[in-house]
Structure formats: structure tokens, C-alpha cells
Structure 1
Amino acid sequence: MLLIERYVIAETRRPLVIMLGILIFVFATYSAQRYLAQAANGSLALNVVFNIVYYKVLIALEVLIPVAVYVSVVLGLGRLYHDAEMTALSASGMSPLRIYLAVALLALPVSLLVAAISLDARPWAYANAFDLEQQSKTDLDVNHLLPERFNINRENGRMIWARTIDHGTGKLHDAFIYDTSQRRTHVFRADQAWIADPNPDDPVIKLAKGNGYALEHLGARDESVAFNAMTMHLAPIESSSETRRKAAPTARLRQSTALPDRAELQWRETRGLSTLLLALLAVPLSRTAPRRGRFASLLPVTAVYALVFFGGDICKSLVSHGSLPALPGLWLVPSIMAISLIILLLRDIVSIRLR
């Protein structure tokens, strides 16, 4: 590798490492604060918080890495333009195409990493994070329930209240349970309650010495019962179709013909290429006059990234609803980026020939 390419890569790599570290730290801190708040109010087990934050950070890398690469190229090259180093290199006969080459050498392995994260690591992290949240939010993990407090599960509206909780035996004393579904609302009060089966797909709880009430939403067939012992199957927490789609392996999406699955597949397949094209587009966007300031092009740089990001998101929604054909589908945004990059490259080639 030539000296100029190594120099440009070094000037770009330093802000990339710093920027990516800052973005990961900020996102991890925000996620930890969010889930720790849920653990503090009793809706999430504390021992799974940091595992969930790890999976959330892994999911976010699909977005954080392209942002870091894009901004680092703008900042790194912007400093060279600000200090007139690019002017000196150009005066010495250096072709501007070598700057594109240097950025491509740095962005290519990064884009391959983003592609691997999007195709494999992201759905794996989604599936694990969802399983952890559901197992912890199933209400039947008494480790995160608080005594003399309405422990509400916001996923399904279930509420559990107990005067005392024996975490050693897992028993709730003087318990009150509110469970609702589309047709009925169940209310139970029992001297004791404990977990028979914590499986979130079919949770089972046992009650001793109490009363139960079943209230119909649309009819008048309400029921009440007094019992000495009762076994109750609670309604499982259903995952949304969007969550299942994001957690689905890429191989399964390739076999599906559903439009939302095709949109999700194209989103994953375009992430790596979009990262590379975005880094290359940052080369002409970083150009400023000497001594003008490295942030002089901040507005167009921000506008281009917003167009790329929101354009991909809008195309995904249009493909999911059938308003945009699957071909080009989400490949429309990388295609426009590639055409724009070719035009800018041709402009630089023409300027070289004129000189």
C-alpha cells in the first residue's frame, strides 16, 4: 500500500474508533438505564438486564457502525482539507481517485462486518433478547416481584399483588391476581399461590384457599367459585409478527414469499453495500476550502445521511405493504447511491483530464 493511502486510512481510522466507542457507550448507557428502571419497578428481573443490554448493543451495531464510518471519513478528510494538506497533495500531482481508494480499503472490511451482523448476528440477538425478556416478564419469576405492590406486566395487562413473598420457596402469601383476555377477565384471591410451571408458552400457577371470579366482557355469564385448591393456566405472552420476523433466520426468510419477509430480507442484504457506498459518498461531501473549518459541510453531510436512512426505512414499509415492487424494492436506495457516486467519480476524472 502506498504512503498516501496509508496516511488517509490512519487519519480516518482514529476518529472511527473514537466515534464508534462513544456511540456504543451512549447507546449501552441509555439501554441499561431503561431496563434498570424496569427492574426497579418489578417488571423485569435484575439478573437479565445486562444480558439484554448486550443483545441490544449487538442489534444496534447494524446502524452505529455505518454512522461511525460515515462521520469519521468526513472528519478525517475534513481535517486534511482544513489544514490545506489536500491542496498540497493535489499540487504535487496526486489523483483524487486515490482518496476514494484509501477510503474503500478501510470501508470494505467494515461493510463486510456490517453485512455479517445484519444477516446472522442481528436476528440471533433479537431472538435471544426476546426470549430473555419474555421469560423474565412472565410474572411467574417471583425473584422480581415486590410485596405489597401492584406488579403489572405491560405486555398482557396481568397484575399480581401479594402481602408477603417467600423467595426461598417461591410462595406468595395473601395473593391477588388479575388476568385478562379478549373474552374474559379472571380475578383470584388466595391465601397462598406458587408456580407450578413457569413456561411462558403455557404458564401454570397453583392457588390454595381462596375465591375466583370470571367476568365475561360481552355476556352475563359471570362465575364465582370458592376453592381449597386450584390449578390455573394463565394466558401466554404472544410475540408480535414484527418481532418474530426480525428474529427469523435469514435462510427462513429466503424461503418465504410473504411481502413483509421479503422486505426484511432485502433490508439485511443491503446493509453491507449501503455502508460501503455511504463511506465513499463521504469523500466528496468532506471537501471544503482551506481554513474554512472542518464542519463547514455539516448540513449537506447530515442531509445525505438522513435521506439514505429514512429512504431505506420508507422503502421497507412500501415493500411490506405491496406499494413498491420487490424489484428493485430496498435495492432502490443503494442503486441511487451508486449512480450518484459514479457521477461524482466521472466529474473527478474529467477534472483530472482538464488539468
Structure 2
Amino acid sequence: MLLIERYIISETRRPLMVMVGILTFIFASYSSERYLAEAANGTLALDVVMDIVFYKVLIALEVLIPVALYVTVVLSLGRLYHDTEMTAMSASGISPARIYQAITLLAIPIAIAVALLSMYGRPWAYANAYDLEQQSKTDLDVKHLLPERFNVNEENGRMILADQIDRNTGRLQDILIFDAGQQSTHLFRAQEAWIADPNPSNPVLELKKGNTYSLEHIGTRDQQMSFDKMTLRLTPIEPTADFRRKAASSNNLKSSRELADKAELQWRQSRGLSTLLLALLAVPLSRTAPRRGRFSTLLPVAVVFALVFYAGDICKNLVAKGNLPLSPGLWSIPLLMGIALTLFIARDVLNARIRFR
């Protein structure tokens, strides 16, 4: 590798690592605050918070790494322009193509990592994070329930109130369960309750000595029943179709005929190429006049990133709804980015040739 390429890569690589670390720390802090608040409110077990935050950070890296690379290239090359180093390189006959080559060498392994993360790491993290959240948020997990207060599950609106909770045996004393169904509301009051099966996909609760009430939303056929012992099978919390799609493996998405699954697959497949093209687009966008300031181009830089990001999201929705054909589908965004990049490179190389004639 030539001296110029090594120099540009070194000047970009070090702030890139710092940028990724800062963005990861900010996102992890935000996620920790959110899930710690849920744990404090009794809607999430405290011992799974850090695991969930880890999976959420892994999911977010698909976006954080391309953002960090894009911004770092702009700021690093902007500093070289600000300090007239790029002017000196140009005056010494260094072709603009070598600047693009240096960023390409830096961005290719990062783009490959993002592609692998999007294809395999992200769905794995989604599936594990969902399992942890559902196992912890289930109404039957007494580790996060608080006594003498209404413990409301926001996923299904179910409410549990217990006078006493024995966390060693998993038994709840003087318990009230409110479950609002689509056609009727069910109310259970019992002296004691315990977990028979904590599996969130098929939750089972045993009730001892109490009453149950069934109140119809329409009609007057309300029912009341007393019992000595009752086995209660609660309605499990089902993941949304969008979440199941994000957690599905890439192989399953390939075999699916659903347009939404095809859109999700194209999104994963295009992340690596989009990361590479976005880094290369940062090269012409970083160009500033000497002594003008390396932050003077942040507005167009931010606009370009917003256009690329939201255009990809819009195309994904259009493909999922059948309003945009699968070919090119989401690949239209990298295609447009490639065309724009080709024009920038041709312009820079042509200007350099004219200048040295």
C-alpha cells in the first residue's frame, strides 16, 4: 500500500473507532435507562436488563457503524482540506482517485462486517431479545411483580394485584387478576395462586379458593362462579408480524413468497453495499475551501444521509405493499448512489487532468 493511502486510512481509522464507541455508548445508555425504568416499575425483571441491552446494541450497530463511517470520513478529510494538506497532495500530482481508493480499502472490510451483521447477527439478536423480554414480562414471572400495587402488562392490558408475594416459592397471596378480552372481561379473585407453567407461549396459573366473574361487553349474560381450585390458562402474548419477520432467518425469508419478507431480505442484502457507497460519497461531500472550517459542509452531509436513510425505508414499505416491483426494489437506492458516485469521481478526475495540462 502506498504512503498516501496509508496516511488517509490511519487518519480516518482512529476517529472511526472513537465515533463507533461514542455512538454505541449513547445508544446503550438510552436503552439501559429505558429498560431500567421498566424494571423499576415492575414490568421487567432486573436480571435480564443488561442482556436485552446487549441485543439491542447489536441490532443498532447495523445503523450505527455506517453512520460512524460516513461522518468520520467527512470530518477526517474535512480536516485535511482545512489544513491545506489535500491542496498540497493535489499540487504534488496525487490523483483524486487515490483518495477514493484509500477510503475503499478502509470501507470494504467494514461493509462486509455490516453485511454479515445484517444477514445473520441482527435476526439472531431480535429473536433472543424478544424471548428474554417475553419470558421476563410474562404475568407469571413473579420476580418482577411488586406487592400491593397494580402490575399492568402493556402488551395485553392484563393486570395483577397481590397482597403478598413469596419470591422463593412463587406463591401470591390474596390475588386479583383483571383480563380484558375482545368480547368479555374476566376477573379472578383468589386467596392464593402459584405458577404451574411459566412458559409465556402457554402460561398456566393455579388458583385456590376464590371467585371468577365473566362480564360481557355486549349483552347481559354475565357469569359468576366460586371455586376451591382452578387451573387458569392465560392468553399468550403473540409477537407482531413485523417482529417475526425481523427475527426470521435469511434462509426462511428466501423461501417465503410474501412481499414483506422479500423486502426485509433485500434490506439485509443491500446493507453492506450501501455502507460502502455511503462512505465513498462522503469523499466529495467533505471537500471544503482551505481555512473555511471542516464543519462547513455538515448541512449537505446531513441532508444526503437523511435522503439515503429515509429513501431506503420508504422503498422497503413500497416493496412490501406491492407498489414497487421487486426488481430493482430496494436495490434502486444503491443503484442511484452508485450513479451519483460515478459522476463525482469522473468530475474530480477530469478536473485534476485539466489542472495539470
How do residues 1-355 of structure 1 correspond to structure 2 at under 5 angstroms? Answer: 1-354=1-354, 355=356
Could you tell me how far 1:57 is from its partner in structure 2? 0.1
Q: Aligned-residue CA RMSD in angstroms?
A: 0.7
Q: Which deviates further from its counterpart, 67-76 or 172-181?
A: 172-181
Return the alpha-carbon distance in structure 2 between the equivalents of residues 351 and 76 of structure 1: 22
8 Å contact from structure 1 (residues 207, 230) kept in 2: yes
Aligned length: 355
TM-score by length of 1: 0.99
Structure 2 CA distance for aligned equivalents of residues 222 and 196 of structure 1: 28
TM-score, length basis structure 2:
0.98
For residue 203 of structure 2, what is the amino acid of its counterpart? P
Deviation at 1:257, TM superposition (A): 1.3
Q: CA deviation at 1:206?
A: 0.6
Give the distance between the partners of 1:140 and 1:66, measured in 2 at CA. 41
TM-aligned CA deviation for residue 219 of structure 1 = 2.9
In structure 1, C-alpha distance between the alignment counterparts of 2:29 and 2:175, rounded to whole Å: 36
Counterpart secondary structure, 2:33: helix
Distance 2:218 2:194 in 1: 31
CA deviation string 1:134-172 (max 9, x = no partner): 111111010110000000000011100011111111110
Check whether the contact 1:84–1:290 (CA below 8 A) recurs between aligned residues. Answer: yes
Q: Distance in 2 between matches of 1:353 and 1:167?
A: 77
Residue identity matched to 1:174: D
Aligned-partner residue type, residue 115 of structure 1 = A
Following the alignment from structure 2 to structure 1, what is the Cα–Cα distance between the partners of residues 217 and 327?
A: 47
Moved beyond 6 Å, runs of 4+:
none
Q: Secondary structure at the match of 1:143?
A: coil
CA distance in structure 2 between the aligned counterparts of 1:224 and 1:298, rounded to whole angstroms? 67
Displacement of 1:221: 2.0
Q: Is the 8 A contact 1:181 1:235 kept in 2?
A: no
Question: Which amino acid in structure 2 is aligned with residue 42 of structure 1?
Answer: G
For structure 1, the 5+ residue unaligned runs are: none
Q: Which whole-Å deviations, capped at 9, do the CAs of 1:231-253 have from their partners, x for residues lacking one? A: 11101001100000000000000
In 1, Cα distance between equivalents of 2:137 and 2:218: 29
- CA deviations 1:107-146 (Å, max 9, x no partner) are 0000000000000000000000001001111110101100
Residue 12 of structure 1 and its aligned partner are, at CA, apart by 0.6
Measure the CA separation in 2 of the matches of 1:287 and 1:342.
16
